[in-house]
Amino acid sequence: MNYQLLAAEQIEAHISSLSKEEILSLMEIPKLSEHGDMAFPCFRLAKELRKSPAAIAEDLAGNLHHELFQTIVAAGPYVNFFLNKCVVSHAILTQILEEKDQYGNVNLGAGGKVPIDMSSPNIAKPFSMGHLRSTVIGNSIANILTKCGYTPVKINHLGDWGTQFGKLITAYKAWGDEEKVKANPIAELLKLYVDFHERADTDPDLIPQGREWFKKLENGNEEALHLWKWFREESLSEFNKIYQLLGVSFDSFLGEAFYNDRMEPVVDLLEEKGLLVEDEGAMVVKLDEEGLPPSLIKKSDGATLYVTRDLAAAMYRNTTYDFSKAVYVVGNEQSLHFKQLKLVLKKLGFDWADQMVHVPFGMILKDGKKMSTRKGKVVLLEKVLQESIQLAEKNILAKNPELNNKEEVARQVGVGAVIFHDLRNDRMNNIEFSLEDMLKFEGETGPYLQYTHARACSILRKAENPEWETQDAGLGDPMSWEIVKQLADFPKYIERACLKLEPSIISKYLIDLAQAFNSYYGNVRILEQDSSLKERLNLVCASALVLKEGMKLLGLEAPMEM
């Protein structure tokens, strides 16, 4: 329920010169509760109505009435609205209990398709903590877009092509072991990749050998293709175990290799439009007018680059999905790349490039530095997830050894801790990797939200009469009102998170809701047999529903017991 909108509609009926949207933009929330729940300033109307703002406020207050407002009074140049807390509480709780997981749905997207480029790990390299951010931010954005009426298409644009495969094939053929790769594919392929770079420091012949093998792969050499496909299949199989653990699925695994035969037509189109310019032997698109460096399309040796591939991918996605917007969940360091990409597409005459959105994010750092696969300095995501699950199981055994489905709950809590540790931060912030911080089960964490939800479910199980019929009388006490206000704002936060493509907006909202609920739990005898029992249980039930739905938007599960 949007009572600000209701107040705006009331005012609009008496002031024809201002639209509902303009009135809403002027509406204020007073700092002190004695000044009301909302306030409308009348300064802007003074010139037009030829009255003082105080006189306008007096006239307006005398003409506005609605059952959701206990009183509407003039206070100088302001019209102050005081909500009827019992009526509003009852109306909001009734709405949530009727709509259940549909509560908070906002129809912004009208079904429009939104391809989301996310996760995109490199084949034959481990799934490190460095890939966690794109994966969980992208997944949460997809959930939020769905809630807002869009149809997301989650695309895992795999790093399955490039010179690293030439290096890997060189290393495998020189000192690799087929049985070792079969037994432990990712770890062994990583070892080969790291060994290649270490040995290349003393054996400079390895670098040209790597280039030669990649050239063979590009030219369709049978042996090179066989090894590449084998590395890809083994890697995908390992990645899928992690995606399953995270609860993340994809609609497409079309990676870089898919666009190999789609890049030449892009180069031809750029030439046809007269956009390609030679620069020190390379072919570029100049972006001087836009104040950016040139976009490198072809190297001096004729090899195409990432931007060529991304141009082909963008054109393919627009043709395939006719998208209303296209989202790229890729690190902040690629911001220039995406600016150039959009500008080149615009120069080609593709106005749909305006709907392409780069969703940048900060890095996960280790000891203040970026993690590097090449130097072997990675923290494996699977290892972090397993350690988090083990810690959750240890906590359960210590605090609730009789709990049913201990292993399942430990998985939900352990994985939730890792996901929420990422999504509670503004995505542009860098995150210092700390297993200790990630696995804390108190404070602003995923387990804290899950425990709050489980606590609410426990209260409902204990209730003697778990019949959620509402009564005519609502709750008007200050502690329940704090929760009701939070619950009423859920759709607003979802819409904001959708427009900003920022999951942390939901994370912070859920922490505030959980804190309000736990404060209520600590100060109110919820199960006391009196005339307000059912309405208090409605409040608990509505809180549990919104906590669960909010966590679902982030990719967290909500255990009913912990």
Do both 76 and 189 map to the same domain?
no
> Measured between alpha carbons, how far is 297 from 283 in angstroms, rounded to an integer?
6
> Measured between alpha carbons, how far is 134 from 180 in angstroms, rounded to an integer?
30
| Residue 440: CATH number of its domain | 1.10.730.10
**426 secondary structure, DSSP code:** -
Do both 546 and 401 map to the same domain?
yes
pLDDT, one tens digit per residue, over 138-197 is: 999 999 999 999 999 999 999 999 889 999 999 999 999 999 999 989 889 989 999 999
Beta-carbon contacts of residue 434 (< 8 Å; ≥ 6 apart): none
Report the pLDDT value the prediction gives residue 468, as an integer from 0 to 100: 45
7 touches 71 (CB < 8 A)? no
Do both 421 and 532 map to the same domain?
yes
- DSSP helix/strand/coil, 281: coil
Domain annotation covers residue 79: yes
| Residue 49: CATH number of its domain | 3.30.1360.70
Domain annotation covers residue 207: yes
pLDDT, one tens digit per residue, over 77-115 is: 999 999 999 999 999 999 999 999 999 999 999 999 999
pLDDT per residue of the chain (562 residues) written in tens, 0 to 9: 788 899 999 999 999 899 999 999 999 999 998 899 999 999 999 999 999 999 999 999 999 998 899 999 999 999 999 999 999 999 999 999 999 999 999 999 999 999 999 999 999 888 888 789 999 999 999 999 999 999 999 999 999 998 899 999 999 999 999 999 999 898 899 899 999 999 999 998 999 999 999 999 989 999 999 999 999 999 999 999 999 999 999 999 999 999 999 999 999 999 999 999 999 889 999 999 999 999 999 888 776 678 999 999 999 999 999 999 999 999 999 999 999 999 999 999 999 999 999 999 998 887 777 765 555 566 788 889 999 999 999 989 999 999 999 999 999 999 999 999 999 989 999 988 777 777 676 789 999 999 999 999 999 999 965 454 445 456 889 899 999 999 999 999 999 999 999 999 999 999 999 999 999 999 999 999 888 899 999 999 999 999 999 999 999 999 999 9
Report the pLDDT value the prediction gives residue 470, as an integer from 0 to 100: 41
Question: Integer distance in angstroms from the first to the last C-alpha of the chain?
Answer: 32
Domain annotation covers residue 64: yes
- DSSP helix/strand/coil, 387: helix
Do both 433 and 522 map to the same domain?
yes
Kindly report the pTM of this predicted structure. Answer: 0.91
Do both 386 and 534 map to the same domain?
yes
> Measured between alpha carbons, how far is 211 from 190 in angstroms, rounded to an integer?
18
Do both 387 and 523 map to the same domain?
yes
> How many domains, the chain?
3
Report the pLDDT value the prediction gives residue 129, as an integer from 0 to 100: 83
Beta-carbon contacts of residue 455 (< 8 Å; ≥ 6 apart): 517, 518, 521
Which residue, among 47, 37, 44, has the nearest Cα to 4 in the 3D structure?
37
Say how many residues make up the chain.
562
Residue type, 456: A
Do both 419 and 526 map to the same domain?
yes
Domain annotation covers residue 336: no
Examine the fold and report which residue of 59, 83, 107 is the final residue of a domain before the chain moves on: 83
The domain in which residue 392 lies consists of: 381-554
> Measured between alpha carbons, how far is 14 from 16 in angstroms, rounded to an integer?
6
Examine the fold and report which residue of 227, 248, 267 is the final residue of a domain before the chain moves on: 227
Domain annotation covers residue 254: no
Examine the fold and report which residue of 51, 83, 115 is the final residue of a domain before the chain moves on: 83
Do both 421 and 534 map to the same domain?
yes
Task: For residue 261, count CB atoms less than 10 angstroms from its CB and return exposed for 0-12, middle for 13-18, buried for 19 or more.
Answer: exposed
Do both 175 and 77 map to the same domain?
no
pLDDT, one tens digit per residue, over 461-505 is: 999 654 544 454 568 898 999 999 999 999 999 999 999 999 999
Do both 46 and 191 map to the same domain?
no
Do both 67 and 176 map to the same domain?
no
Domain annotation covers residue 451: yes
Do both 430 and 528 map to the same domain?
yes
Domain annotation covers residue 545: yes
Domain annotation covers residue 251: no
At 104, which helix (H) or strand (E)? none
